[in-house]
Amino acid sequence: MAIRVAQLGTGNCGSLTLRHLVEDPRFDLVGVWVSTPEKVGKDAGALASTCASVEQIRTMEIADYATYDGATVMFDVMGFGKPVGELPFLYQPGMLSAAWGVGIRQLAAGLGVEIDEIRDSVEQEAAPEDFDVAVGTIEKGTVAAVRFQIEGMAAGRPVIVVEHITRLRGDLRPDWAQPAQPGGSYRVEITGEPSYVMDICPTSRNGDHNYAAILAAAGRIVNAIPDVVAAAPGIRTTLDLPLVTGTGVYR
């Protein structure tokens, strides 16, 4: 059942909320109060041209992994240092979609969108010369940068997109997206009305951007434990749990 709403005022902010209330099926707009005589008696739709909307959500990791010291992840999972065209386990058909598909479907569920298909793609870039990184030597001609993306499709359009751009040197593939800080950052792009771009730049007193990003992921998991324990039995997702606020971590 739609929520019955009456709005007071149609000024700068009010006209924007009105646009949403007119088009959003969750609400039943039953009245509008206005303060200027020329607006009296006008239809709410005339007081509002378009509705706030979301067309696409894109999340991105843009990082330099030269300092990442996990050899198994670097060589066997991501394929760095391997011949271009030799696809490791992660890039085999369907694996990216399987790995990130759950998150894509969860975001879509939060938007009320049904995903028809999840598809993925991979690009590799060769090292222009031999150079050393934390896990060893990357030889000339082997993989030194990779870009992959996973797209959640609805009605033939990519609605939820996860994109990873991973370099072992900052000068590789300058045409790919660049981080907001040296080394790496995370980006959320929401295309719609209005559109947003938000960059998250992890840092740490105890390590670089790669360490900080892993620490942030670990903190999210640990801080969710109290809410998971308090929840009813069964599998629970972010959509089922309250906002994880990090209660108790202030020092």
Per-residue pLDDT of 196-248, as tens digits, reads 899 999 999 999 999 999 999 898 888 888 899 999 999 888 899 888 887 77
Helices (H) and strands (E) in the chain, counts: 5, 10
Structure token digits, residue 130: 């031999």
Question: What are the start-end ranges of the H helices in 86-243?
Answer: 95-111, 209-230
pLDDT digits (tens, 9 = 90+) for 107-152: 999 889 999 999 999 999 999 999 999 999 999 999 999 999 999 9
- For residue 133, the one-letter residue type is V
d(CA 92, CA 245): 37
Q: Tell me, what amino acid is at 136?
A: G
Contact status, residue 57 vs residue 159, Cβ threshold 8 Å:
yes
CA angle 31, 35, 37 (to 5 degrees): 100
